[in-house]
Structure 1
Amino acid sequence: MRLIISEKANAAKKIAQFLAEDSVRDGKHRSVPHHTFTWKGEECVSVGLKGHVLNPEYPEEYSNWQKVEPSSLIDAEILKSVSEKGVAEAIRALSKKADSVVIATDFDREGELIGVEALSLSFEANPALMDHVERARFSALTKGEVTRAFEELVEVSRELAAAGEARQDIDLIWGATLTRWVSRATKRYGSAFLSVGRVQSPTLVLISERERERRAFNPEPYWEIEANLRNGEAFGARHAAGRFKDEAVARTAYENMTDVATVTEVKEKSATRPAPTPFNTTGFLTAAANIGISPSRAARLAEDLYTDGYISYPRTDNTVYPKSLDMREVLGQLKRVEGVGEYVDGLLAKGELTPTRGKKETTDHPPIYPTGHVSKNALRDDQWKIYQLVVRRFLATLSEPAKTLRTTVRLESGGEPLVSGGTVVTHEGWLGVYHYGRRADEEMPKLEEGQPVRVEEKEFLAKETQPPSRYGQGRLLRVMEDLGLGTKATRPSIIQNLYDRGYVHDDPVVPTETGMAVARALKDFASEIATHEMTAELERSMDEISEGKTSKDAVVDESRDVLRKVYEHLQSSETEFADIVWDGIREDSILGPCKKCGKNLTIRKAKKSGKRFAGCEGYPDCDQTYSLPPRGEIIPLGTLCDACGSPEIKVVSFGRRPWITCIDMSCPKQQERRQAIAEARAAKEKEAAAKAAEDGDAEGGDGASKKTRAKTTRKKPAAKAAAKPKGAAAKEPVKSTT
C-alpha cells in the first residue's frame, strides 16, 4: 500500500479524487479522515495533516519564567513535541500497513519541513519505509497538475526542510530568550507579557521610526490659489506657480486676478498604460490590502481558495508565467465566472495571447492565477473578493495596454498664469476588467487659444506641509520585502502579531505608546534585533541551507553567538530599558481628563476581581470611576465624546472589528448603540427562523430540524491557542514572537 501525506484534509481528498482509477472509499482513523483508492494498479491511501505535527519547545524544567534565567534558553536543548496527537496516531497507524510514502505537502520551505516531520512519525512506526519515500510537487490542486506531479515524483529535499527548521529554532531561541528578559525587566507576566521577535521587532522599529519622523516634523506654511472657471461647462484651475512660500506675493497674485481668464495654450498628449504584471505573493497581498483586506486575512483566504482548487499556490516570488501554462485552457474555465464572461470571450477571440512579464522569474511556483471556476453563491463575500481579484488580475495580464488622453490648458487672468487639465481613457484595454483604483475621467470642455472664459470664483488657500505618511499594510509588506525582513509566507503573520500584542493599531499603521517605547528601548540597547541587517543576513543563511551550501547547525549556532552579545548588553542596561518601556505603558493607560476634577483618568485593575476600570488619578479625593470593556486592547484616542464629554477609546479584539466608544456607559450614544445592536440581533434571529421554516417546508417538515441539529452538534475545529504565558509557569510562545 502507498501512503500519500498532504498538508490538509481537503487536499488529501482532492488528490484521491484526481488519481483514483475507480471509486474512492472514505474512512477514518478515530477522527482523522483518509481516502483509499487504486492508482496504476496499486492501492493508495491519502491522508491530510493539520499543518505542523511537531512543534519546537523547551524541556519542562525551563517553563517557569520567574525562576529560570532567560540566558539559559540560548543553549538549552530544543525538543520536538507532537502538536496534533490524533493526526500523529493516524500517520503511525497507516504507516504500519504501508510499503512506500509520497509526501504531497505544499512545495516550499515550510511545506517541506511539515512533510519531513510527518516522515519521522512514519519511520517510527515502520522503519522499512526509509528507503521508499518520494515527493509530489505541484502548484495547483487541479487534476492536470496533481496527475503530472505523481507521474514525475522526485526526492524529498532535506536541505529545504532543514532551512525551515533553522528558522523555526532561531525564532524560538531569540523570541523566547528576549521576550522573557523583557517581561522580567518590566515585570510584565501573564497575558500582559511584552513579546520580542527576530523579525517582529525590526518591523516595529520601522513603524515607530516613521511615527517619530511625523512627530518631529515642523510644518511650513504655504499658500495656493484656485479658481472655478466656466465656458458653458464648469472646470477648475490653479495658479501656475503652485505653492507660494511668501504670503504677500500670493496675496498680490490673488488680487491681480480679474473676472475673466483668457486661454493661452491648449495641449493634448496621448499616453499608454501597460497592463499590470502577474501576481506574486507580495503583489497580491498589497492589492488585497488596497481593497480593505489585511495581509494576514488575505493570506488565509488565498490558502483556502488554493486547497479548494480555485487558485494556484499563493506563496510565490514569480512574476512570469511558465511557458507550460495553457492560457486558453484557463480562460475556458473562467468563461462562467460572473461579471467577466464577455471579457473572456473577447480574449479568446484574439489570435496570440501574450501575457505581461514581471522582473522576478523563479522555477518553483508560477505566479498566482485562477485554476478553476466557482460561482459567487458558493463562496463567502471575502473569499469572493479575493477570487475576483485573482481572476481579474490574470485577465488583465493578457489584455492590451490602456490608452489615455491628457489635456492641459494654460490661461491668463489679470497677468497671472493659470493651469488646468484633465485625463480621459480613450481605450480601456486592461482597465475594462481590472477596475481596482481606477480614477473617474476628468473631462475638459472644448477650448481654443484666445478664447475668454468667466472666472466665477477664486480662492486664497492657506496650507501647511504635511509629515511623511504612515505605512499602510500593503506598503509595509513591500518595505519588509525590500529590506529582507521575513519571507513571503511569514510577513502577513508578523504584521498581525504587532496588532495582536497591542503594539500597533489602525491602517495606515499607528504605533501605540507602548510599541514606540519597546522599539526605542530595543534600538538603544539591543540594536542587532532592532535593525533589519541581522535578520536579512539570517534569511540569506537559510537560503544557503536550502541550497546545500551550509548546515542548519552552523547557522543556528552562529545566531546563538550573536544573541549572547545582545543579552550581555541588555543585562547591563536593565533599569534604563525598563524605565523607557514603562513610560510608554503609563502613557497608554491615560484615557483623558476626569469630568469631575480635571485630573487624568487611567486604566486600573480591581484587586479582588481583576476586572479593569477607569479611575481618577485624584483618588481618594476624587472617586470617579467607569467600567471598561472586559476584553480587547484599549487604545486612548485623545478625543472627547460630543454627547457626554467623556474620553473616547478604541477597543481592538482579536478576530473582531475594532470599535470606538466613550467610557461612560450611561451616555445617550451608548444607549443608542446598545439598542441598535439589540435590533440587529433580533432581525438576524428572525431572518434565521424564517429561513429554517422555509427549509423545513422544502424538506417535508423534518429537514430544517435535522439541519439545525447538525449545525449545533457539529464539533468546531480546535482553534490554535494563542501562545500567551498564563502565570509565572507558562511556556514561552513559539510563533508569536517572530
Structure 2
Amino acid sequence: MRLIISEKANAAKKIAQFLAEGKVKEGKHRAVPHHTFDWKGEETVSIGLKGHILNPEYPEEYSNWQKVEPSELIDAEILKPVSEKGVAAAIKSLAKKADSVIVATDYDREGELIGVEALSIVFEAKPELADSVKRSRFSALTKGEVTRAFDELVEVSHDLADAGEARQDIDLIWGATLTRWVSRATKRYGSAFLSVGRVQSPTLVLIAERELERRAFKPEPYWEIEATLKNGGDPFKVAHRHGRFKDEGEAQAALSNLKETARVVEVRQKAATRPAPAPFNTTSFLTAAASLGIGPSRAARIAEDLYTDGYISYPRTDNTVYPASLDLREVLTVLKGVEEVGETAGALLAKGELKPTRGKKETTDHPPIYPTGYVSKAALRDDQWKIYQLVVRRFLATLSEPSKSLRTTLNFDSGGEGLTTGGTVITEEGWLGVYPYSRRADEEIPNLGEGDVVNVVEKELLAKETQPPGRYGQGRLLNVMEDLGLGTKATRPNIIQNLYDRGYVHSDPIIPTEKGISVAQGLKEFAAEIASHEMTAKLERSMDDISEGKTDKRAVVDESRDLLREVYKHLDSAEEQFSDIVWRGIRSDETLGKCPESGHNLIVRRNRRSRKRFVGCEGYPDCTVTYPLPQKGSIIPTGTTCEECGSPEIKVLGGRRPWITCIDMDCPKKQEQMKAAEEARKAREGEEAAKDAGKANAENEAERPSEVSEVASDAAKSSNGNSGNGEEPREKLASSGTRAS
C-alpha cells in the first residue's frame, strides 16, 4: 500500500479524486478521514494533516514566568511533542500497512517541515519506510498540475525543512526569552503580557518612529491662489502657475493682479501609454488586497482557502514571471464562464498570440498567483469573491493591451499672472477595462483654443500648511518589510496582525498606541539589536543559506543564541529604566480624560474579584465617579469629548470594525445609537437571501449594542465601591513563537 500525506484534509481528498483509477473509498481512523483508491495499479491511501503536528515548546520546569530566569531559555532544550494526537495516531496506523510514502504538503519551507514532521511519525511506526519516501511538488490543486507532480516525484528536501525548523526554533527562543523578560520587568503577566519578537519588534519600531516623526513635524505655512473661470458652459477651477507661495504678501500681490478675464495662451496635449501590471506575487497581491480593505492576514487566509479549493494557484510565491509551462489559453478557457469577466477572457482567447507581462522577480519554485478554476459568485462569501475576482482580473490584465491616455493642459494669462489647469482622459482602456482598481476618473476640461477669452468669476487665496509624512498603510508596510528583509512572504501578514492583537497598533493606516511607542522606545534604547532590521535580515539570509545547503541548522540557531545573549545582557542591566518607559505609555493609554467632578484623571481600572474593567477616578476614595466599559476589545483614548454630554470618547477595537463611543451610558446620543443599531440588526436578520458573509457581518455588528448594554450591569459589579486596579498577576504560559499558517 502507498501512503500519500497532504497538509490539509481537503487537499488529501482532492488528490485522491484526481489520481484515482476508479472509485474512491472514504474511511476514518477515529475522527480523521482518509481516502483509499487505486493508482498505477497499487492501492493508495491519501490522508491530510492539520498543518504542524509537532509543537515546539520548553520542558515543564520552565513554565513559571516569575520563578524562571528568562535567560535560562536561551540554551534550554526545545521539545517537539505531538500536538495533533488524533492525526498522529491515524498516520501511525496507516504507516504500519504502507510500503512507500509520498509527501504532498505545500511546497515551501513551512510545508517541507510539516512533511518531515509527519515522516518522523511514520518512521516511528515503521522505520524501514525511510528508504521508500518521495516528494510531490505542485503549485495548484488542479487535475493537470497534481497528475504531473505525481508523475514527476522528487526527493524530500531536508535542507528546506531545516530552514523552516531553524526559523521555528529561533523565533521561539527569541520570542519566549524577551517576552518573558519584558513581562517580568513591567510585571505584566497572564493575558496582559507584552510580547517581543525577532521580526515583530523591528516592525513595531518602524511604525513608532514614523509616528514620532509626525509628532515632531513642524508645519510651515504656504499660500495658493485658486480662481474659477467660466466660458459660457460650466465653471471650472484653475490654479496659479507659481504653485505654492511661501510669502503671503507675494501671494496677495499676485491675487490682486488678476483681472476680470483670462486669455488662453497655450494648449498643450501629451499622449501616454500605461503598460499592464506584472503578475501577482505574494507581496503585490497582499498590497492590492489591502487597497480593497482586506488586511494582509485576512487576505492570506482567504487566498489559502481558495487555493485548497482549487480556484487559485499557490499564494506564497516571489515569482512575477509566468513559466513557459503554464498553458495560458487553458486558463482563459476556464475563465470564460466567470461572471463579469467572461467576455474579456473570450476576447483574449481570440487573439493570435498572447504576450503576458513580466515582473522583475523570476523564481522556479512556484508561478505567480493565477486563477486555476471556475467558481460562481453565489458559491463564495463576499470577501472570498473579492479576492477571487482580484486574482482573475489581475491575470486577465497581464494578458491585455496597454492603456492609453491623453493629458491636456490649458495655460492662461490674467493681468500678467499665469493660471493653469489640466485633465487626463482615457483614450484606450486596454487592461484598465478588466482591472478597474488602478483606474482614476477621467478629468474633463473645457474645449478651448489658444486666444480664447474667458471670465474670471471668482478668485481666492488659500492658506495652507505642509503636512507630516503619512502613516504606513498595511499594504505599504508589507513592501517596506520586504525591502528591509523583515520576515518572509509567508510570515509578514501574521507579524502585522500580531501587532494589532497585542494592542500595539490600531486602525489602517496604522497608528501605534502609546504602549506600542513606549515598548519600541525601550527596545531602541536598551536593546538596539532587536529594534533594528539589520540583525533580523542577517538571520533571514542565514536561513536562506540553510535551504541552499550552504550551512546547517545547528550553526545558525547557535549563532542566533549568541546574538540573543548580547541583547539580553544590555536589557538586563536596565530593567527599571525600561519598565518606567513602558509604564508611561501604558498609563497614557489607560488615561481617558478628566473627571467632571474632581478634575482628576479618569483611568481604566479592573475589579479585583470579577476582573471586569471600568473607568474610575484617580481621586478615589475622595471621588467615587465611575463609568462602565465594554468588556470586549481594546480601549483606545481618542482625546476627544462627546459633543452631546461632554464625557470622554474612546475607540473600541474588536470585531470587524472599530467603533467610537463616549463612556457615559446615559448620554442621549448613545441611546439613539443603540436604537439605530438594534433596528439595523433586525433589518439584517430579515434579509432572507443573505449570504454567509452577510450573515456573519450582521452577527458581528450585532455585538455592538449587546456590548454597550452589557456594560451597564458590569458597571455596578465592577465599581461597587471598589477602585482596585486589579494588577494581581495570573500565571499563564503564553505561546511565545509564531508560525506561518
Question: Counterpart of 1:393 in 2: which secondary structure?
Answer: helix
Q: CA deviation at 1:599?
A: 2.6
The AA in structure 1 aligned to 2:738 is: K
Q: Deviations over 1:374-400 (max 9, x none)?
A: 000000000000000000000000000
The answer to whether the aligner puts 1:215 opposite 2:215 as a matched pair is yes
Counterpart-to-counterpart distance in 2, 1:575 and 1:54? 38
Secondary structure at the counterpart of residue 651 of structure 2 = strand
Give the secondary-structure state (helix, strand or coil) at the position aligned to 1:371: coil
Instruction: Provide the residue aligned with 1:706 in structure 2.
Output: none
Aligned to 1:606: 607
**Of residues 713, 729, 733 in structure 2, which corresponds to 1:730?**
733
Unaligned runs of 5+ in 2: 692-727
Residue in 1 that maps onto 2:465: 464
Partner Cα distance (2:68, 2:730) in 1: 14
Structure 1 range deviating more: 56-65 or 569-578: 569-578
2:295 is aligned to 294
Letter in 1 for 2:167: R
2:3 corresponds to 1:3:
yes
Shift of 1:619: 2.2
- Deviation, structure 1 residue 481: 0.0
CA distance in 1, matches of 2:732, 2:647: 39
Deviates more, 1:346-355 or 1:160-169: 346-355
Partner of 2:67: 67
Q: Map 1:314-333; keep pairs closer than 5 Å.
A: 314-333=315-334
Matches of 1:240 and 1:676 in 2, distance apart? 49
Determine the structure 1 residue equivalent to 2:454.
453
Residue 173 of structure 1 corresponds to 173
- Once residues 215 and 657 of structure 2 are traced to their aligned partners in structure 1, the CA distance between those partners, rounded to angstroms, is 28
Can you list the C-alpha shifts for 1:513-556, whole angstroms capped at 9, x where unaligned? Answer: 00000000000100110000010000000000000100000000
Question: Which residue is 1:721 aligned to?
Answer: none
Q: Distance in 1 between matches of 2:573 and 2:168?
A: 28
Secondary structure of residue in 1 paired with 2:579: helix
Match of 1:702 in 2: none
Structure 1 equivalent of residue 340 of structure 2:
339
Provide the residue aligned with 2:625 in structure 1.
624
SS of the residue 1:228 aligns to: strand
**Is 1:77 the equivalent of 2:69?**
no
- Are 2:283 and 1:282 equivalent residues in the alignment? yes
State the alpha-carbon separation in 1 of the partners of residues 301 and 55 from structure 2.
21
Q: CA deviation at 1:682?
A: 3.4
Q: Is 1:317–1:360's contact at 8 Å kept on the other side of the alignment?
A: yes
- Seen in structure 2, the aligned counterparts of structure 1 residues 88 and 183 have a Cα distance that, compared at 3 Å, is same
Amino acid across the alignment from 1:289: A
Q: Which residue of 2 aligns with 1:379?
A: 380
Does the 8 Å CA contact 1:196/1:737 hold for their aligned counterparts? no
Partner SS for 1:444:
coil
What is residue 353 of structure 1 aligned with on the other side?
354
Separation (CA, whole Å) in 2 of partners of 1:439 and 1:50: 44
User: 1:45 maps to which residue?
Assistant: 45
Does the CA-based 8 Å contact 2:190-2:734 persist in structure 1?
A: no
Q: Give the aligned partner of residue 426 of structure 1.
A: 427
Report SS of the residue matched to 1:534: helix
Structure 1 position 612, deviation (Å): 0.8
1:717 matched residue in structure 2: none
User: Could you tell me which residue of structure 1 aligns to residue 141 of structure 2?
Assistant: 141
The correspondence of residues 110-259 of structure 1 with structure 2, limited to 5 A, is 110-231=110-231, 232-259=233-260
Per-residue deviation, residues 203-249 of structure 1 (Å, max 9, x unmatched): 00000000110000000000001111112243221000000000000
The number of equivalent residue pairs is: 705
Question: Residue 345 of structure 1: CA displacement?
Answer: 1.6
1:497 alignment counterpart: 498
Q: CA RMSD in A?
A: 1.7
The equivalences for 1:698-717 within 5 A come to none
Aligned-pair CA distance for 1:626: 0.3
Cα shift readout 1:448-502 (whole Å, capped 9, x = no counterpart): 1111011121121000000000000000000000000000000000000000000
User: Could you say what secondary structure the match of 1:412 adopts?
Assistant: strand
Q: Does structure 1 conserve the Cα–Cα contact (< 8 Å) formed by 2:322 and 2:368? A: yes
- Matches of 2:656 and 2:182 in 1, distance apart? 28
Q: What is the alpha-carbon distance in structure 1 between the residues aligned to residue 83 and residue 536 of structure 2?
A: 27
Task: Name 2:264's counterpart in structure 1.
Answer: 263
Percent of aligned positions with the same letter in both sequences? 75
Question: Equivalents in 1 of 2:599, 2:249: separation in Å?
Answer: 43
- Is contact 2:491–2:739 with CA below 8 Å preserved after alignment? no
Counterpart contact for 2:222–2:463, Cα < 8 Å: yes
Tell me the CA shift for residue 368 of structure 1.
Answer: 0.2
The alignment partner of 1:57 has SS state of coil
Secondary structure at the residue paired with 2:110?
Answer: helix
> Secondary structure at 1:635's aligned position in 2?
strand
Correspondence for 1:658: 658
Preserved contact between residue 195 and residue 737 of structure 1 (Cα < 8 Å)? no
CA displacement at 1:595 relative to structure 2: 2.3
Q: Which residue of the partner structure matches residue 523 of structure 1?
A: 524
Aligned match of 2:593: 592
Match of 1:82, SS state, is coil
Structure 1 gap ranges (5+): 692-724
Alignment of 1:579 onto 2:615: no
Return closer, same or farther for 1:276/1:602 CA change in 2, 3 Å cut-off: same
SS at match of 1:43: strand
SS of match in other structure, 2:338: coil
Counterpart position of 2:411? 410
Counterparts of 2:635 and 2:180, CA distance in 1: 24
1:532 equivalent to 2:533? Answer yes
**Alpha-carbon distance in 2 for matches of 1:416, 1:729:** 72
Tell me the SS of whatever aligns to 1:424. strand
Contact 1:16–1:46 (Cα < 8 Å) also in 2: yes
Q: What is the CA-CA distance between 1:666 and the residue it aligns to?
A: 1.5
The range that moved more, 602-611 or 27-36, is: 602-611
Tell me the secondary structure at the aligned position of residue 81 of structure 1. Answer: coil
The answer to whether the Cα contact below 8 Å between 2:230 and 2:456 also exists between their aligned partners in 1 is: yes
Q: Helix, strand or coil: the match of 1:359?
A: coil
SS of 2:195's equivalent? coil
Contact 2:484 2:537 in 1 (8 A): yes
- Alignment match, 1:312: 313
State the shift of 1:256 in Å.
Answer: 1.1
- Equivalent pair of 1:198/1:737 in contact (CA under 8 Å): no
Q: 2:491, 2:740 within 8 Å by CA — same for their partners in 1? A: no
How far off is 1:688 after superposition?
5.8
What is the match of residue 88 of structure 1?
Answer: 88
Residue 560 (1) aligns with residue 553 (2): no
One-letter identity of the residue aligned with 1:190: G
CA deviation after TM superposition for structure 1 residue 610, in Å: 1.5
What is the TM-score with the length of structure 2 in the denominator?
A: 0.93
User: C-alpha displacement at 1:445, in angstroms?
Assistant: 1.4
SS at match of 1:3: strand
Shift of 1:729: 4.7
Residue identity opposite 1:215 in structure 2: R
Tell me which moved more, 457-466 or 278-287.
Answer: 457-466
Is 1:224–1:461's contact at 8 Å kept on the other side of the alignment? yes
Match of 1:398 in 2: 399
Contact 1:70 1:181 in 2 (8 A): yes
Q: Distance in 2 between matches of 1:211 and 1:683?
A: 41
Say yes or no: does 1:570 pair with 2:571. yes
CA distance in 2, matches of 1:631, 1:374: 37
CA displacement at 1:415 relative to structure 2: 1.2
Query: Post-superposition shift, 1:585?
Result: 0.5
Counterpart CA distance in 1 for 2:468 and 2:739 is: 32
Q: Within 2, Cα distance between the matches of 1:448 and 1:50?
A: 69
The one-letter amino acid of 1:161's match is A
- Mapped to 2, the partners of 1:27 and 1:672 lie a distance apart of 56
Kept in 2: contact 1:503–1:512 (CA 8 A): yes
Q: 1:83 to 1:99 in 2, by over 3 A?
A: same
- Structure 1 length normalisation: TM-score? 0.94
Inter-partner Cα distance in structure 1 for 2:183 and 2:651: 25
Deviation at 1:690, TM superposition (A): 12
Instruction: Give SS of 1:266's match.
Output: strand
